[in-house]
Structure 1
Amino acid sequence: MHTYLMAKRLKDFWDNWGIEVLVTVSCGMHMVLTLFGSSRRRMTARQGLVRFIIWSAYLLSSYVVTVIIGKLTLIQVNESTKENTDSELKGFLAPLLLVQLGSRDAITAYSIEDDRLGLRQFPNVVAQLSAVLWILFRSWNNSLVSYLYFPLLLAGSIKYGENAWALYTALSGSSGITTDEFEQEEAIQNVFKHDKDIPNNRNLEMILKGYYRFFCLKPHIETWIYRPLYQKLNELSIDNIDSPLEIFQITDFELGFMYDVLYTKAPIVYTRTGFVLRLITSLSLVSCSIAFAIWFKDAFVYYINAGFTIVVLGVILTLEIYQIYMLLFSDWAILTMIRHSKNPIVRRLLIFLAPQATRWKRWSNTLGQFNLIRYCLDYDNLCCSRILKLASLDIQITKYFCTTSVGIPDELKKMLIHEMGKPEEPRQPISKRGEWALGRYGITELYKSVDGTEFDKSILVWHLATEICYHSHIQFEHSNSKIKMGRYLSNYMMYLLALRSQMLSITTSEIVLEDGRKQIMEFLKGKSSVKNVERVCRELKELNVEGKNYKAEPQTMVTRDWYLLTDAKQVSENLLGRVGDTWDVIFSVWVEMLCFAATHCRADNHAEQLRRGGEIVTHVWLMLLHQTDAGGSGSNDQP
């Protein structure tokens, strides 16, 4: 009997308050997506909880709205004035739900797959709009509230339609600021001449360079015909830029535009049409809110439905004001204002925004770090490891907890730009992964470690060799910056192998990494006193591995004749035997491997990483893509 009463009470509560509860949940999701939707581009690999909240809000918001609209189609319409007002107010919520669905300026797509399925959004728009029209038709009562349906329906239809249009055009090449007046060389040059009187125009120049380099290349579009306008204009080239940090900054701008086109509504909002539509929707929401507040000014306290509706209106209007405010603080806004910089008000805004623009954080600016030896030492120390093994989650969770991140030093960016100018074929796609660097230093005996084996095995061998060399030269870390930077790149490539293997276009990474872990743990068996990375490296350095394979059973076809410790020991001995240039060699090899990985990764995979905080391998990919004679034609080719 007690269970029956509890179930009955829950059913009565759901019947009476289900719509209000779901609308409250929908408002919460709307707040999450509005306030935190664009923060994905700045998150590090360890901020999984925030990502999960955003992901949940994005996926569930449309389902929650669908359930609410389904319940609203069943609202009772009776003869009494009070019940008619109740149904009228519930009908008032329907167009507000469309506004919520469309008010995703910062996150129209969660992943690139959403853009690929953008065409499917239009049937959803038609279906939702039809259901809302039916609700409004049933709730119509010829009162002021009923007449407020029209501006709300207009605002909801525009916003939801904008959202669908942004998804549809993200990969078509038709989204973005209209650039008809900029497509001629003379017009582009006039733009640069136009802002000579504006202070700090170096910042504006970099934003323009970033935009036009992105506009000409459009690296996210598979069938885009490359149009190298900037190669004909000194103003748009980065060849005359001496500062490596500015080169990275221009690439930041390019990838920022790429992120906005793929995952936000920015390319549509920052157009004349977008401005007019935003003006219409904002005025509609404001006018409805004022009219509603005046009509029910004496009823909010004792009439709960009216009070709830005005709260929902207030939340939506507040978030709309926030989004309008945020429209001023983006590269697209600066790009638009440059075109109207003769206006004194616009010029003042540019004077204020231009210095700020270079300090806006467009990506995480971090390097993921994964140390293979630390992973092996921590592997058996995971809490509830037996339970996690049963669910096949132990490896992934251990990888997650063994992953860290470090801020990318400016010195590393400078060294990368300097090193990337050294390949023997700078205008051709990178086809080597360490052989050029070894040949430059005359170390032909190590060719087998980079060119004679699979890429994932090369990364593990060189990572282990780098660790041995690092802990042998750790006392010189402060006098030779390449020691620390080389280790950063070593741990970063291991991070890509362990957690972002799709970026390396490798299908056997899990098998090779697991075999490498087993070989190291086989070596550590019986060495209970060895509990830190430095001690393990010392043991490996002193070990005579000849004739010992440390292979664990069972073996796979991929790793059957591969001996990680033997190969790593041979590479480390050769490197440590050199005088003076050990870390020059190590750093050069890792940069070449990074460039190889960048150019052989599909553009889709690079685009996916933009929503996860970005990766430096994506920056390298874009810089190399601009350098090669192939331009954008090969940006999506398989390796």
Structure 2
Amino acid sequence: MGGAMAASAMDLWNHWSIRILVLFSLTCQVALFLLASTRRREGRWFFRVPLWLWYQLADSTATYALGHLALSGTPREYQLVAFWSPFLLLHLGGPDNISAYSLEDSKLWLRHLLSLIVQVLGAAYVIYKHLMGSGNFLLLATVLMFFVGVVKYGERTWALKCSNLDSIRGSVKKEPRGKCLFYLEKQPPQWGFKGKADEEEFLMRHAHSLFHICKCALVESPVSMEPDSPEIKVLEYLTYEQKYAIMEMELSLMYDILYTKAAVIHTLVGYCIRFITIVATAAVFLLFQFSGGDGYSRVDVVITYILLGGAFLLELRSLLAAVLSSWTLAFLCGTRWRWLQHAVLCSGRWNRLRHVAASLHRFIGIVRLGSYSRSARRWSGTMGQYNMLHLCTRPSKQKRSNSASGSLSAWDSPLLGRLSKMLGREEWWDRKHHSRTIKISEDLKKKLLRYIERLPGEGKMSTQGVFRKKWGKEPLESCNLKDRLKNYLGIEFQEGIIIWHMATEVFLAQHAQVKAKLTEDEALIVEAVRALSNYMMFLLVERPYMLPGLSQSRLYRRTCENLMEIWCREAPSSNPSASDVLKNLFRLRDDPNSGSSLREIEKLAAVLYEKRDELKSTPEVPRLVYATDVATILLKNDEDVKRVTDSLLVLLFMWRDFLVYAANRCSRESHAKKLSSGGELTTILWLFGEHSQQSDLFSRARAEATKDGSQQA
């Protein structure tokens, strides 16, 4: 009985497998096309995980289906099924909006090239085996579709090669920059923009004109900025919010180059491929119609029409997206065909088409929900938050005697946390569960950009755009605290983050006790200081590859253990209510900035300050000693009537310097990698620093030219 059922299931699979695989391959392409845009922002796991699965399944499904076709039955039975093999090559080419899932994919472009050769030979063998000698129309349709599939698969392989950082480094040295200035407004309209869409389009076009700075900076290639080149001058007329937006847009363009086919689409060959493939796909549809469906299974005919319809719609969308993209302006500005520039740009035809496309995109954005209604070229505008003291005060980290008893506190930890601990993934759970994201305030953006903007002019960056001084040294000198705090910056950058993160919480807890009520300005500074401190700790714990220097994960874990021991020993025991326990059991996120969390953080910080003398006699906890020493010095600084700067501002300047230093010294490859999952605040600040460097060089060159001109006169 069981053997008969197994044999029946095997016969069913043998009969329907190729049909299932071909339809599933098409489904993978549609799913990739729909989900790929979510990577431009910090997408949620229920977008990232399916996208990763579809990306992995897309190639393997098409490859397996081609192999299955090569080994399938008689030619007469599989003539129409063999016609599907070119569609599998087309699917291996993938949608235009995702060519690589990670930066490593582009490094393996030679492996993809080998796969291209093997799969093309396999498809050619299938066509030769099953279709040679068949009807003329079906054979002609197959050959034409085979050509389309080979071209699209080859284009994807070439796109991977062009998105390799080494290839980009080689291209920036020889590719001419498009002169778009004739078609761009030199500065924003005097009376403002007519609407948000007009402002977005203005900024997007200038992002294209400045994009060569981003490309050169990413591959550490010198920027060839001419003294009379006014592209960078537009930054002088923009607000800080608009400058920030341009940086976001340039990074979005960089994402296009690294992870989509943009590098090959927006060329003369790329546009021609899209015109040819859609015409060829339509011709294949007509040829299949003329070939007749007699002798073929009705199911196979329906599947063939689905494949043809899917291919045509995807190619049509590819053509329209390419022509109406903002990249087309950059292509037209750089083309040598002046007649094409005049016919398309000067006549205003492309501008009208672009306006229609932008209006349609805005309409689609209106009907969407949540953060995805924001412009596709803009970043999410959030930053992560993680607090080490918050982690160490959680009930799940307390090792009290009553934990083994039947009291409610023994169950005061999430079920998923317990499961993660059983599976050996406790650290991963701690990072995810005890972190959150917050919106970056416009005031904080302005403070950061203003600080970065003045660094090149003050000589604090070298000609290569690299910070001259150690992290934290410059703000300590400006606040006249260098002699007292220079030994507390840490040997390694991440050690400095750990020390100052704890010192910040200890100082803020004591500062809150001294000042019963903060002014509005002080409250904003406290909010900014805590946000930057938690963000730097978030990078250290969750994304250490975005920080310079050696990793200090062992030091971080050891410091957490010390804090937990102190908290368990000194903090008062509590027995939570049944409702609190129930709520904690199913909690997915534990916000470090919530009111209850901040109260617990302040309690632990107060314990550290009270025990500061006792800690000095314990050699196993030197970082805790350093942190309490920093907080004590800052508190004494506020008591000094001759102080240069209030300690709250000292902390703000310090964390600002830590953040900008991390952005400046982070490896360029790490910046590129993070673009595939939404980007990071440090990447935007790094890019703005590169623009500020070029703007300063441009201003100096312009001043020199003016000086020489006046001397000659």
TM-score (norm 2): 0.77
State the shift of 1:71 in Å.
0.5
Residue 326 of structure 1: aligned partner: 321
Deviation at 1:351, TM superposition (A): 4.5
C-alpha distance in 2, partners of 1:631/1:312? 55
Aligned to 1:51: 48
Aligned to 1:365: 381
Query: What is the Cα deviation at residue 207 of structure 1?
Result: 3.3
Q: Which amino acid aligns with 1:376?
A: C
- Residue 66 of structure 1, CA deviation: 1.3
Partner SS state of residue 611, structure 1? helix
Tell me the equivalent position of 1:617.
682
Q: Residue in 2 aligned with 1:556?
A: none
Cα 1:322–1:237 change in 2 (3 A) is: same
* CA–CA distance in structure 2, aligned partners of residues 6 and 523 of structure 1: 65
Q: Does 1:305 align with 2:300?
A: yes
CA distance in 1, matches of 2:488, 2:527: 22
**Is 1:121–2:112 an aligned residue pair?**
yes
CA distance in 2, matches of 1:457, 1:477: 32
CA contact (8 A) 1:433 1:450 kept: no
Partner of 2:425: 393
Q: Deviations over 1:497-552 (max 9, x none)?
A: 00110111344332122112111111111425477332331342254223434999
Deviations 1:465-487 (A, max 9, x none): 33344455495385442222222
When structure 1 is superposed on structure 2, of 17-26 and 602-611 the one drifting more is 17-26
Aligned to 1:161: 154
Change (3 A) 1:311 1:452: closer
Residue type of the partner of 2:384? G
Looking at structure 1, the residues matched to 527 and 295 of structure 2 have their Cα atoms a distance apart, in angstroms, of 68
Q: Select the residue among 58, 62, 67 that pairs with 2:64.
A: 67
* CA deviation string 1:248-292 (max 9, x = no partner): 122122212211111110121112211111111111222223443
Q: Which residue of 2 aligns with 1:555?
A: none
Q: Deviations over 1:206-237 (max 9, x none)?
A: 43443343324524764x64233266423333
Structure 1 residue 132: Cα displacement: 0.3
Cα distance 1:469–1:361, how it changes in 2: closer, same or farther (>3 A)?
farther
Partner of 1:570: 629
Structure 1 match to 2:518: 476
Could you tell me which residue of structure 1 aligns to residue 39 of structure 2?
40
- 1:320 positional shift: 2.9
The AA in structure 1 aligned to 2:60 is: Y
Aligned to 1:436: 474
Deviations 1:63-93 (A, max 9, x none): 1111111100012125xxxxx2x41121111
Structure 1: any 5+ residue segments left out of the alignment? 79-83, 553-559, 633-639
One-letter amino acid matched to 1:21? I
Distance 1:113 1:588, change over 3 A: same
Residue equivalent to 1:81: none
CA distance 1:403–1:191, shift in 2 (3 Å)? same
Query: Against the structure 1 CA distance between its residues 294 and 466, is the aligned structure 2 distance closer, same or farther, given a 3 Å change threshold?
Result: farther
Question: 1:368 aligns to what SS in structure 2?
Answer: strand
Residue 242 to residue 265, structure 1, CA distance change in 2 (3 Å): closer
Q: Does 1:520 align with 2:563?
A: yes
May I ask how many residue pairs the two structures share in their alignment?
611
User: Counterparts of 2:324 and 2:503 in 1: how far apart (Å)?
Assistant: 46
1:540 matched to 2:608? The reply is: no
1:589 CA displacement: 0.8
Alignment of 1:211-290 (within 5 A): 211-216=208-213, 218-219=215-216, 222=219, 225-229=221-225, 232-237=228-233, 240-290=236-286
| Structure 1 contact 365–408 (Cα < 8 Å) conserved | yes
Structure 2's unaligned 5+ residue stretches are: 334-340, 363-373, 398-412, 575-595, 639-644, 698-713
Pair 1:238–1:403, CA change in 2 (3 A) = farther
The DSSP-based 3-state class of the residue aligned with 2:679 is coil
* Cα separation, partners in 2 of 1:209 and 1:297, compared to 1, 3 Å: same
Q: Compared with structure 1, are the counterparts of its residues 496 and 551 closer, same or farther at alpha carbon in structure 2 (3 Å cutoff)?
A: farther
> In structure 1, how many angstroms separate the alpha carbons of the residues matched to 2:117 and 2:46?
34
Counterpart residue number, 2:121: 130
* Equivalent in the alignment of 1:508: 551
Contact kept, 8 Å, 2:453 with 2:692, in 1: the verdict is no
Which letter does structure 2 place at the counterpart of 1:368?
G
Relative to 1, partners in 2 of residues 1:565 and 1:621: Cα closer, same or farther, differing over 3 Å? Answer: same
Q: Secondary structure at 2:437's aligned position in 1? A: strand
Residues 193 and 491 of structure 1, relative CA distance in 2, 3 Å threshold: closer
Cα displacement (A) at 1:441? 1.3
Going from structure 1 to structure 2, the CA distance change for 1:532 and 1:249 (only over 3 Å counts) comes to closer
SS at match of 2:415: coil
**SS of the residue aligned with 2:384?**
strand
| Aligned partner of 2:540 among 479, 497, 515 | 497
Contact 1:27 1:312 in 2 (8 A): yes
Cα distance, 1:21 vs structure 2: 2.0
Shift of 1:162: 0.6
Equivalent runs, 1:328-477 vs 2, <5 Å: 330-336=325-331, 339=341, 340-352=344-356, 359-378=375-394, 379-380=396-397, 381-383=413-415, 385=417, 388-389=420-421, 391-421=423-453, 423=455, 425-428=459-462, 429-430=466-467, 431-448=469-486, 450-470=488-508, 472-473=511-512, 476=518
Bigger Cα displacement from structure 2, 202-211 vs 491-500: 202-211
8 Å Cα contact 1:108-1:166 kept in structure 2: yes
Letter of the 2:98 counterpart: I
The answer for the alignment partner of 2:83 in structure 1 is 92
Map Cα deviations across residues 552-577 of structure 1 (whole Å, 9 max, x no partner): 9xxxxxxx755333322232333345
Amino acid in the other structure paired with 1:165: W
| Letter paired with 1:523 | I
Instruction: Give the Cα–Cα distance (whole angstroms) in 1 for the partners of residues 312 and 109 of structure 2.
Output: 27
* CA deviation profile, 1:438-463 (whole Å, cap 9, x unmatched): 22111225534653432212212222
1:105 offset after TM fit, Å?
0.8
Deviation, 1:604, is 0.5
1:608 matches 2:624: no
Change (3 A) 1:177 1:95: farther
Quote the offset at 1:382 in angstroms: 4.4
SS at match of 2:446: helix
| Displacement after TM superposition at 1:299 (Å) | 9.2
Equivalent residues of 2:188, 2:238 under 8 A apart: no
Residues 61, 101 of structure 1: 8 Å contact kept: yes
2:651, 2:433 → 1: CA distance? 27
Closer, same or farther in 2 for the Cα pair 1:351/1:314, shift >3 Å? closer
Instruction: Report if the CA contact (8 A) 2:492-2:550 is conserved.
Output: no
SS across alignment from 2:115: helix
Deviation at 1:627, TM superposition (A): 3.8
Q: 1:495 to 1:40 in 2, by over 3 A?
A: same
**Aligned mates of 2:168, 2:551 — CA distance in 1:** 35
Change (3 A) 1:575 1:292: farther
1:487 equivalent in structure 2: 530
Looking at structure 1, the residues matched to 487 and 529 of structure 2 have their Cα atoms a distance apart, in angstroms, of 17
**For the structure 1 residues 456 and 180, does the alpha-carbon distance in structure 2 shift closer, same or farther, using more than 3 Å as the test?**
closer
CA contact (8 A) 1:337 1:346 kept: no
- Cα 1:217–1:546, aligned 2, differ >3 Å: closer, same or farther? closer
**What RMSD, in angstroms, separates the aligned Cα atoms of the two structures?**
3.5
Kindly tell me: are residues 8 and 470 of structure 1, through their superposed partners in 2, closer, same or farther at Cα, counting changes over 3 Å? farther
